[in-house]
Amino acid sequence: MKFKPNQTRTYDGEGFKRRAACLCFRNEKEDEVLLVSSSRHPDQWIVPGGGMEPEEEPCGAAVREVYEEAGVKGKLGRLLGIFEHNQDRKHRTYVYTLIVMEMLDDWEDSVNIGRKRKWFKVDEAIRILQSHKPVHAEYLRRLTNTCNPTCSPTCNTSNCHAPCSQVTDNNSSHCVVCSTQGSDLVNITSSKQFIREDTRMDI
């Protein structure tokens, strides 16, 4: 565990920073996604997300981060996968879908750092993200992949409206974990798949 001026960084047992993010959609068609401007590079767009706090569930961290960074509330959907970054900084990010139900005129990051937000068609968002945030682009490419979130249906987060879901494929559940090391698809067990991507993520 490490401390920053505005948050506590938490790590799992393998030394990965624990993160959560949401793909925020305008509606259930999931054809328009909300991106926010980067705090480090205001001219670039990113998927809202950030580090988990101590004792925080991934689903709770995800909705908190999009509330702080994008100023939205909504209905939390499925877990797309757990995306790993293994290069200079190790991150493990739980990525969820969220249908936006409310948008604030002013929110924490818009007031504090001037962060902006904008709706994009999914194809356009992938193209924009690919140049500087390829792992964020990969989130959008994995929209059809889902697995069980680690949070329970009794998640205490006020914005966590949907129970955790499970999707089956050939009668077996599967969880997608994307890593930056290598480019091979490795079958860990009959019910889980690890997808490795050669990408880099700078938070």
Tokens of 199: 């990408």
Asked whether the beta carbons of 93 and 49 are under 8 A apart, the reply is: yes
Asked whether the beta carbons of 24 and 70 are under 8 A apart, the reply is: yes
Tell me the three state secondary structure of residue 184. Answer: coil
List 102's β-bridge partners, or say none.
73
Active site residues: 68
Asked whether the beta carbons of 1 and 8 are under 8 A apart, the reply is: yes
User: Please, which residues have CB within 8 angstroms of residue 93's CB and are 6 or more apart in sequence?
Assistant: 19, 20, 21, 49, 82, 83, 84, 85, 201
Residue spans of beta strands (DSSP E) within 61-141: 72-85, 91-103, 117-121
What string of DSSP letters covers 138-152?
Answer: HHHHTTT--B--SS-
